Chain A
Amino acid sequence: MDFHLTNEQLMLRKMYREFAENEVKPLAEEIDEEERFPMETVQKMAKLGMMGIYFPKEYGGAGGDVLSYAMCVEELAKVCGTTAVIVSAHTSLCCAPIFENGTEEQKRKYLPDLLSGRKIGAFGLTEPNAGTDASGQQTTAVLEGDHYVLNGSKCFITNGNVADTFVVFAMTDKSKGNHGISAFIVEKDFPGFSTGKHEKKMGIRGSSTCDLIFEDCIVPKENLLGKEGKGFKIAMQTLDGGRIGIAAQALGLGEGAVNEAVKYTQERVQFGRRLSQFQNTQFQLADMHTRMQAAQYLVYAAAMKKQNHEDYSMDASMAKLFAAEAASDVTRRAVQLFGGYGYTREYPVERMMRDAKITEIYEGTSEVQRMVISSRLGVK
């Protein structure tokens, strides 16, 4: 196995780091505190090609690879979990399903704006009664002449209030269960479409999370994504890819917390010694770094497999499961090493701990990842 990054990936990592340090980190506390979507950062990222990293140039992408995308989310998450998930949801959950399942016309129509970051993308699968059990979709789509009519609602939609383009799932034939779900490309200006209230969250508070509401929403027939009845498959494939993004977000959050803890424990003096001189601190930091390093190998391996068009579903699940649980553990330990100061909003580790928790929940809970992994092992 080749653990070496290419020259391009090394150069990109340097660029992502500089960008994250100079443009993203200074805003992280403020957007968390004010629950403000950092549109100015999205515009800067768009200009640099960060909103369409691994898609071909012919559609307006940057012509990169999946690992370069995962590294982008990782470096952003080291300083700001919110900014990382904006890129991840946009790329993995909206650009990817259109690129992978869209007709040539759909790709030509939607991808250039999305990949260049002129427009932001989102994904609508989750409903109040269809979370982990995504097959229980209650949103319906009925074909009437040259358009579908959508009715129902989606919840917890990342980028919901800021997105222009949505990949949305709805039942076209209830009698067929999973095989009756279809995917659609919905524009925010379609008649009958609206967004609901902004959810107040524990972490990633600058990211937009809201309901999508469909009230006799008119969606042109040509906006059916893939074939009718293939929506559930598209959703599951999309989430496989999305898990690499969220795993990379978790990875970055954990690594960011290690960086902060290494710095702080070398400055803070108690009992006449720097905290870093206590063996407890040294062992904690060694364990924290080791966990994140292991997570990095899993995340990078999953990204490389996707890039090479290998079956990466289980790898993405393992990467997300491990990275998310490692991030939650490592950020919690970082707060502990900071002591009382770590519990205050004066230092970034409490924010990292709050941000990390969601990575165990969205785009498939840790329990769902365990279901995917065990089923791949043939365990029934």
Chain B
Amino acid sequence: MKIIVSIKQVPDTSGKVAVNPDGTLNRASMQTITNPDDMNALEAALKIKDATDCKVVVVTMGPPPAAGMLREALAMGTDEAVLVSAREFGGSDTYATSQVLAAAISTIGIEDDDLVLCGRQAIDGDTAQVGPQIAEKLGLPQITYAADIAVEGKNVTVKRMLEDGYMTIKTQTPCLVTCIKELNEPRYMSVGGVFEAYSKPLSTFNYETLKDHPLIDATTIGLKGSPTNIFKSFTPPQKGAGMMLEGADKATCEKLADILAKKHII
């Protein structure tokens, strides 16, 4: 069994967000972290590895510095890492990104008993589209919002968290699961893991590696090939603290109605 985990380096939102003139994020000028939901996906994979001794491969698409994040994943216990990086892939939206990642994952190879894990969504775009799109492009069954994953042989049982409850879904490998923070508490890198991280394999897939893959269409990758056009990116202004009215009496209700009326809400 092998688990491929797709992760993404994202800007640390506790810092300032910088935007390029074309509307995409200026990732080079910002502090970066591994996307939090992706850390939960990685932890889920490592937990399964702890129990079954399966292999864990981590993959990311991003600029060359994203290799640092992959080394950290290796220091946490991942066996191999793949960096998908090329100018041609730069500026890709979710449609283009999932195409490239699906091609990369298929190049790594998906066997019958393999699992692909992704975070639910990245904190920079918040689309939650890449995981499901990878599954569609690879023709894999997908289960989103996993709060628990149990693997027994080829059977995968996932507790799927929804706004109003849970849904338990069973499927078989190979499949793709997107993970949420309720799934687990990501582990730290270990000291021994750090000293092994630089001797573990990290390969780079560039445009040459993937260009002839059947899933790659040169006209629909990168910024130019992305169907999404970004009109404007900005940091939203902080919302005010809001106002709280207490009491179930007529006077309070009238006050509330008055405020809402003044704001033309009612």
Instruction: Name A's B-contacting residues (CB within 8 A).
Output: 7-8, 11-12, 14-15, 18-19, 47-50, 53, 57, 62-64, 68, 72
**Cβ contacts under 8 Å, B189 to chain A:** 11-12, 14-15, 48
**Cβ contacts under 8 Å, B190 to chain A:** 47-49, 62
Q: How far does the Cβ of A353 sit from chain B's closest Cβ, in whole Å?
A: 29
Q: How far does the Cβ of A16 sit from chain B's closest Cβ, in whole Å?
A: 9
| B194 touching A11, Cβ below 8 Å | yes
| A62 touching B192, Cβ below 8 Å | yes
Nearest B residue to A23 via CB reads B188
Instruction: Name B's A-contacting residues (CB within 8 A).
Output: 71-72, 75, 188-195, 197-198
| B197 touching A11, Cβ below 8 Å | yes
Q: 9 tightest A-B contacts by CB?
A: A49-B191, A62-B191, A62-B192, A15-B189, A49-B192, A48-B190, A49-B190, A63-B195, A11-B194
| A62 touching B188, Cβ below 8 Å | no
CA–CA, A130 and B42, complex, Å: 54
| B188 touching A15, Cβ below 8 Å | yes
**Cβ contacts under 8 Å, A47 to chain B:** 190
**Cβ contacts under 8 Å, A8 to chain B:** 194-195, 197-198
**Cβ contacts under 8 Å, A48 to chain B:** 188-191
| A50 touching B191, Cβ below 8 Å | yes
**Cβ contacts under 8 Å, A53 to chain B:** 191
**Cβ contacts under 8 Å, B71 to chain A:** 7, 11
**Cβ contacts under 8 Å, A11 to chain B:** 71-72, 75, 189, 194, 197
**Cβ contacts under 8 Å, A63 to chain B:** 192, 195
CA–CA, A306 and B106, complex, Å: 48
Select one of B75, B188, B192, B198 contacting A19, CB under 8 A: B188
Nearest B residue to A8 via CB reads B194
| B198 touching A7, Cβ below 8 Å | yes
Q: A11-B197, A18-B188, A48-B188 are in contact. List 19 more A-B contacts (CB 8 A).
A: A7-B71, A7-B198, A8-B195, A8-B197, A8-B198, A11-B72, A11-B75, A11-B189, A12-B191, A15-B191, A47-B190, A49-B190, A49-B193, A57-B192, A62-B195, A63-B192, A63-B195, A64-B191, A64-B194
**Cβ contacts under 8 Å, B193 to chain A:** 49
| B194 touching A15, Cβ below 8 Å | yes
Nearest B residue to A15 via CB reads B189
**Cβ contacts under 8 Å, A57 to chain B:** 192
Max count, chain A CB within 10 A of own CB: residue among B188, B189, B191:
B191
Q: How far does the Cβ of A70 sit from chain B's closest Cβ, in whole Å?
A: 13
CA–CA, A53 and B194, complex, Å: 11
**Cβ contacts under 8 Å, A14 to chain B:** 72, 189
27 residue pairs from A and B, CB less than 8 Å apart: A7-B198, A8-B195, A8-B197, A8-B198, A11-B75, A11-B189, A11-B194, A11-B197, A12-B189, A15-B75, A15-B189, A15-B191, A15-B194, A18-B188, A19-B188, A47-B190, A48-B191, A50-B191, A53-B191, A57-B192, A62-B190, A63-B192, A63-B195, A64-B192, A64-B195, A68-B191, A72-B191
**Cβ contacts under 8 Å, A12 to chain B:** 189, 191, 194
Q: How far does the Cβ of A370 sit from chain B's closest Cβ, in whole Å?
A: 34
Q: How far does the Cβ of B187 sit from chain A's closest Cβ, in whole Å?
A: 8
CA–CA, A7 and B188, complex, Å: 17
**Cβ contacts under 8 Å, B188 to chain A:** 15, 18-19, 48
**Cβ contacts under 8 Å, B198 to chain A:** 7-8
**Cβ contacts under 8 Å, B72 to chain A:** 11, 14
Q: How far does the Cβ of B224 sit from chain A's closest Cβ, in whole Å?
A: 35
Q: How far does the Cβ of B5 sit from chain A's closest Cβ, in whole Å?
A: 19
Nearest B residue to A10 via CB reads B68
CA–CA, A50 and B198, complex, Å: 19
CA–CA, A49 and B193, complex, Å: 9
Q: How far does the Cβ of B176 sit from chain A's closest Cβ, in whole Å?
A: 29
Nearest A residue to B189 via CB reads A15
CA–CA, A63 and B198, complex, Å: 13
CA–CA, A13 and B75, complex, Å: 13
Max count, chain B CB within 10 A of own CB: residue among A19, A53, A62:
A62
Q: How far does the Cβ of A341 sit from chain B's closest Cβ, in whole Å?
A: 25
Nearest B residue to A65 via CB reads B195
Q: How far does the Cβ of B198 sit from chain A's closest Cβ, in whole Å?
A: 6
CA–CA, A63 and B75, complex, Å: 13
CA–CA, A14 and B198, complex, Å: 16
**Cβ contacts under 8 Å, B194 to chain A:** 8, 11-12, 15, 64
**Cβ contacts under 8 Å, B75 to chain A:** 11, 15
**Cβ contacts under 8 Å, B195 to chain A:** 8, 62-64
CA–CA, A68 and B195, complex, Å: 10
CA–CA, A355 and B192, complex, Å: 30
**Cβ contacts under 8 Å, B192 to chain A:** 49, 57, 62-64
